[in-house]
Amino acid sequence: MKTLIIAEKPSQGRDIAGAIEPRTMRKDGYIEGDKYIITWAVGHLLQLKDPGEIDEKYQKWNLANLPIIIDEENIIGNYKPNERTTSQLKAIEQLLKRDDIENLINATDPDREGELIFQNIYAYFKVNKPFKRLIIKDLTPDGIKEQFANLELGEKYEGLKMSAYGRAISDYIIGLNMTRAYSCKYRGGGVLSVGRVQTPTLKLIYDRCKENAGHQKKIEYGIKAKIQGTDIELELDKYRVAKKGEAEKKLLELPGKLTIKSTKEDKKKSPPKLPTIIDLQKLANNFWSYKADSTLSIVQSLYEKHKAVSYPRTDCNFITQNTADKLNFRLGNFSKVKGYEHITTKVINEQVVGEVEAHEAITPTGIMPQSLSDEEKNIFNLVVAIFLANYCDDYQYRSIKYEGLIDDKNVLKGTERELIDLGYLKVYKDTSHTYKEILADGEYAIEYEIKEIESKPKPLFTQATLLEKMKNIHNEEEGEIKEKLKEIKGIGTGATRGAIIETLYKREYIADQKKAIVITDKGKQIIDILLSENSKLLDVAYTADLEYRLDGIIKDKSIFNSFLYDINVMCSEMLSTLKGNRNEVRFVGVEKNRSEFICPVCGKPVLIGEMKYYCSGYRDGCKYAILKRVGQKNLTANQLKTLITKGKTAFIKGFINHEGKKFDGYLVYNKELMRLEFSFK
């Protein structure tokens, strides 16, 4: 008898097979060994049905037909096979039917999405064989073997499964119903896309841009002083005036010499915490202007492809004591790396050990990867630097406060630092501090000048500061909602915030202005419409409550049914309010997306979307759509034109399938099945 292991991706399946099965045979869609058969999903093999497949009346976008309701009694009945990966789903189905398969192991990623991938397969095929859960922290052979020795009962993750269903279905119900509702009510502007997390995130950007643009510049004047013969600068404390003439008059009253005294205090700063994915995304945006979603992809590659870092989709800055003990042995792998040779301590700092709810902080596995891209090198070196910083002493410095007393009401003040020990800054570079000469107490000649101080608006968000805002949004709230937001660590999760921001870019709701994020006219219109409707979707408290309840399902799966019931009720209430409101605001701005083409299915104009060309008759049930990117290849303008007008492209080289293999062929649009297909003749 054998055990069937289901991994999340082909590469992970190969890694598991290489670690636990000495003799294997590669077959179509799986790897077979003496004890184990290892197969894999390719992302989500099952997906929620299109509304028109739930009920024919939903094929047309009609406000009167809403809401779209999900069957609470038969959750898996709302799912269907993903058309792009049916062959792999069939391969898994055949394996599940084998008589020699005694039990299963769920080896998908240890998060909500990974759990959903496995549980959908298990429920869809009505499997009744027992299964266990493999939680992989890193994809090195030793890491996989260690976790195989600590398999957990699958039932332990029932709460995570139901929470995963809750997130997927609530996003579906809210997103589909409210997007259709607003798009139908405000016809003429195309699809008005809204969602549980993307909409309050857009509102954050809207508010910040509005506040920034409305800032009234204010100029005040102060006085700064420099001690002659040094580069020490002081400032006349608490002095601000509105008129420059007043400052000039004050300047004439100040003495040319002054006794300067100092007070000194030794301080220290601990190494940075081991990083979460959000920490890496913020640092990468600050250092190299990487977008959050790109950084996640880079770290994912370091985890999956290069086996160089631990599991990346984590919100935790801590590791367990058991992991800390093992990390001490990895230090030797970095002793020959340039810049780190002087690390002598063999024990990691105690601050890294703490409570771990789900996934530990990101750390290097000890493998020194080869053939990294420049972006991968930057992120890997950052992870290593933070890791090694935690084997170093604290950064120590002396804070020196200078004061020059003029009279009871006027005093010059300034602060400098004196270096005592760089500590962890020897490996984790920080150039924000400069060290000037130390000044002895005594009388000095002083030079003065007027300092113009211009009030600054709150800066526009960068990706780094927006991620920080989403995570720490509780600081803007009070009472119960503040505590909920703090507990769930903001809106979105470490694994999804980057994708949420990227979605706003793709929908053309936001754009870049150098490193800053600005809202577009299209994005402004959407928020203005939602404000005019007094929509709940703008309310961070609403989003926080849903996420809080999703977290609660992990701990108590019995509340799932009431959660889903409440989602349907809340959605119905929002729709009822929307239908009842009479609003003269119009959504206007996307007719420019109309293409030169006519839909070959229904004859209506074809529109250009962020990721696809699609029929303007989508509200009437036409499903015609052509993706701009197929088989990991961006189609050229000529290829898209030929496909839309003739139904088939010329021969195209360089497609890549789900297992990473290259292939060539034609793209053909199948009008009967309403989908794109590959053809090889």
| Structure confidence by residue, pLDDT tens digits, 207-226 | 999 999 999 999 999 999 99
The tens digit of pLDDT for each residue in 602-643 reads: 888 888 877 788 888 776 778 888 988 888 788 998 898 999
**Has residue 100 got a pLDDT over 90?**
yes
**Integer Cα distance of 410 and 407 in angstroms:** 5
Q: State yes or no: pLDDT of 584 exceeds 60.
A: no
Does 191 or 15 have the greater pLDDT score? 15
For residue 370, pLDDT beyond 70: yes
Q: Please write the tens of the pLDDT for every residue from 40-60.
A: 998 899 999 988 888 888 888
Region 313-337: mean pLDDT is 76
514-552 pLDDT, tens digit per residue, is 889 999 988 998 999 999 888 889 988 888 888 889 989
Sorted by sequence, the CB contacts under 8 Å of residue 301 that are 6+ apart come out as 376
Greater model confidence, 326 or 397: 397
- Give the mean model confidence (pLDDT) for residues 174-178: 92
CA dihedral of residues 471, 477, 478, 481 (deg, nearest 10): -60
What are 101-135's pLDDT values in tens digits?
A: 999 999 998 888 999 999 999 999 999 999 999 99
Give the integer Cα–Cα distance in Å for 311 and 277. Answer: 10
- Domains along the chain? 167-213+459-580 (1.10.460.10), 219-270+395-454 (2.70.20.10), 277-389 (1.10.290.10), 591-679 (no CATH)
Q: Which among 107, 102, 97, 88 is positioned nearest to 35, based on CA atoms?
A: 102
Q: Is the pLDDT of residue 265 over 70?
A: yes
3-state helix, strand, coil in the chain (%, to 5): 40, 20, 35
Question: What are 133's strand-pairing partners?
Answer: 106, 152
pTM value is 0.81
Strands (E) across 182-256 are located at 219-227, 233-236
Q: What average pLDDT score do residues 162-183 get?
A: 92
How buried is residue 580: exposed, middle or buried, by Cβ count under 10 Å (0-12/13-18/19+)?
Answer: exposed
DSSP state for residue 603 in the 8-state scheme: -
pLDDT of 334: 67
Distance CA 448, CA 235 (A): 9
Kind of pairing between the strands at 233-236 and 257-269: unpaired
Kindly list the distances between the CA atom of residue 407 and the CA atoms of 240, 255, 401, 404, in Å, as whole numbers in the listed order.
Answer: 17, 10, 18, 9
How would residue 590 be classed by pLDDT, with cut points 50, 70 and 90? very low
| pLDDT attached to residue 660 | 66
pLDDT of 554 above 50: yes
- For 256, the 3-state DSSP assignment is coil
What are the C-alpha distances in Å from 413 to residues 397, 455, 590?
19, 21, 57
Nearest to 36 by CA among 86, 94, 100, 113: 100
Q: What is the pLDDT of residue 235?
A: 94
Mean pLDDT of the chain: 87
